[in-house]
């Protein structure tokens, strides 16, 4: 269902579960970036009604996730801190440059792949997190990221045509697997 061409390194689950606090601190920024990316796409592409509607709903949902992660941090007595450098997302944004710029299509493809990878990893946390409450929460997040992946992919197909959109997302998925294989396994969402 997801476009990903690689699976997360099995070590990641152990690394994440042994420092779930760090994962949560990073997760807060992922949700914030997801909301602000959606808002920025709406601002830039206001003339695409399907995009404005779909990403407006997505941004609202991401802000709900921001609040949920923030609440979980508070329950654990943790506070947010500034984000670490996001090498993964920055590398993805650069990844398609060699194949000619397609500004909107590329942003939708990057959105689709980030949501897909988050979806895959939240599913792992839904299976392995230490408490039933956390497993249920990560399961909800997994389902939500699956919907977000489908939204980005379907907007790309609607606006740019099915074949071009699938080709671009596939190409990016291949680059994403290479990028991820070169990054250290850290207690982060990506
Ligand atoms: Fe989210
Ligand atoms: Fe999302």
One digit per residue, the tens of pLDDT, for the chain of length 190 reads: 689 999 999 999 999 999 999 999 999 999 999 999 999 999 999 999 999 999 999 999 999 999 999 999 999 999 999 998 999 999 999 998 877 778 999 999 999 999 999 999 999 999 999 999 999 999 999 999 999 999 999 999 999 999 999 999 999 999 999 999 999 999 999 9
Cα 139 to ligand 2 centroid, rounded to whole Å? 13
Ligand closest to Cα of 112 equals 2
- Cα–chain-centroid distance for residue 135? 19
**Do the beta carbons of residue 33 and residue 115 sit within 8 Å?**
no
Indicate the pTM of the whole model: 0.96
Fold of 19-182: Ferritin (1.20.1260)
Q: Which residues surround ligand 2, an ion (CB under 5 A)?
A: 34, 115, 145, 148
Owner of token pair 């990560």 = 138
Judged on CB neighbours under 10 Å (0-12, 13-18, 19+), 101 is exposed
Ligand nearest to the CA of 140: 1
Q: Which long-range contacts (CB under 8 A, 24 or more apart) does 7-15 make?
A: 7/120, 8/117, 8/120, 8/121, 8/124, 8/180, 9/185, 11/185, 12/121, 12/124, 12/185, 13/124, 13/125, 13/128, 15/185, 15/186, 15/187
């Amino acid at each position: 269902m997801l476009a990903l061409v690689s699976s997360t390194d099995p070590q990641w689950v152990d690394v994440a579960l042994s420092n779930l606090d760090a994962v949560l601190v990073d997760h807060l920024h992922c949700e914030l970036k997801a909301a602000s990316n959606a808002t920025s796409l709406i601002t830039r592409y206001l003339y695409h009604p399907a995009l404005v509607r779909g990403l407006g709903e997505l941004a609202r949902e991401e802000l709900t996730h921001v609040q949920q992660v923030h609440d979980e941090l508070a329950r654990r007595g943790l506070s947010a801190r500034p984000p670490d450098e996001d090498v993964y997302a920055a590398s993805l944004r650069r990844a398609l440059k060699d194949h000619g710029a397609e500004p909107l299509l590329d942003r939708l493809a990057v959105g689709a792949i980030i949501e897909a990878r988050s979806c895959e990893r939240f599913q792992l946390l839904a299976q392995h997190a230490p408490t039933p409450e956390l497993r249920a929460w990560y399961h909800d997040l997994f389902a939500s990221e699956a919907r977000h992946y489908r939204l980005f992919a379907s907007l790309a197909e609607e606006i740019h045509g099915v074949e071009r959109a699938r080709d671009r997302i596939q190409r990016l998925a291949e680059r994403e697997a290479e990028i991820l294989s070169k990054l250290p396994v850290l207690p982060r969402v990506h």
